[in-house]
Amino acid sequence: MIAISLQSGSNGNCIYVETEDARLLFDAGISGVKAERRLAKRGREIRDVDAVIISHDHADHVGSAGIFQRKFALPVWITEPTLAWTLRRRDLGRMSRIHYFTSGQTLSFGQTRVTTLKTPHEGVDGVDFVITSRGKRLGILTDLGHAFPGLPETLATLDAVFLESNYDEEMLARGPYPPALKARIRGPGGHLSNEEAAALMATSGNNLRWACLAHLSEQNNTPEKALATHRRLLGESIALSVASRYSVGRPLKV
């Protein structure tokens, strides 16, 4: 299994995962042009993708679902509440090839399995993902809300993970956001800090070959700070990288 982050952060999310028998895009939060170009940069054709799977109703995850479908003829997988809530606030344009799933359901694409995990993040029906192929397990765990019950146990089963490491606690505290927004980010429906994500991995990330830190805040974090916090708690035991807000990552093998 190979994973490539096309972009990660509040400015748009899209992660490509390729297994022996499936090519999947997780979230459609960047423009069609960007997704197509960034995949092409890694030798992949977006029209070969089998499914676009949406995690939740925030624009940085679902905003381009309609475009991906119309421009590249891609089937979109989404839960009914997520689509309904999205359509109340934004026009995704005409969509025809929609596959509904329920949060918690496991989806099959050939021999590849995608388990969806319900999250307490503030979207209406948010999920995260575990992709299983040939006995290897990859997690895409962002927009988590908080380290909810079951999350450490899931993490303990993974070979590799994209893990949310959204903000540095000190930068958020000193930063320019209004108090209400700071509270929302820190709150149970917000995002994980560097410290929280690192603590989670330190207690349950023993099997991980690599972790790619994801959904970093522009205002309240830097890749250097995120990496330093994780290194401090984890030592050198896990290969660490950061999913960029601005460019396509290198292919990561699971």
Q: What are 236's two structure tokens? A: 């050198």
Long-range contacts of 69-76 (CB under 8 A, 24+ apart): 69/95, 69/96, 69/97, 70/94, 70/95, 71/32, 71/36, 72/32, 72/36, 72/46, 72/47, 73/47, 73/97, 74/25, 74/46, 74/47, 74/49, 75/50, 75/51, 75/99, 76/28, 76/51, 76/52
User: Whole-number minimum distance, CB 58 to Zn ion, in Å?
Assistant: 4
1 versus 216: smaller Cβ distance to Zn ion: 216
- For Zn ion, the closer of residues 18 and 143 by Cβ is 143
Q: Which is nearer to Zn ion, 13 or 154 (CB)?
A: 13
Whole-number Å distance between alpha carbons of 163 and 150: 15
CA gap 227, 224 in Å, rounded: 5
Among residues 23 and 58, whose Cβ is nearest to Zn ion?
58
Pair of tokens at residue 230: 């994780």
Nearer to Zn ion, 54 or 208 (CB): 54
At its nearest, how many Å lie between Zn ion and the CB of residue 166? 9
Q: How far is the CB of 167 from Zn ion (least distance, A)?
A: 12
For Zn ion, the closer of residues 36 and 143 by Cβ is 143
In the complex, the residues that contact Zn ion under the rule CB under 5 A are 58, 60, 143
Min separation Cβ 143 and Zn ion, Å = 4
Q: Please report how close the Cβ of residue 137 comes to Zn ion at its closest, in angstroms.
A: 22
3 state SS of 141: strand
Q: How far is the CB of 123 from Zn ion (least distance, A)?
A: 6
H helix and E strand count, the chain: 9, 14
CB contact set of 235 (below 8 Å; sequence gap of 6+)? none
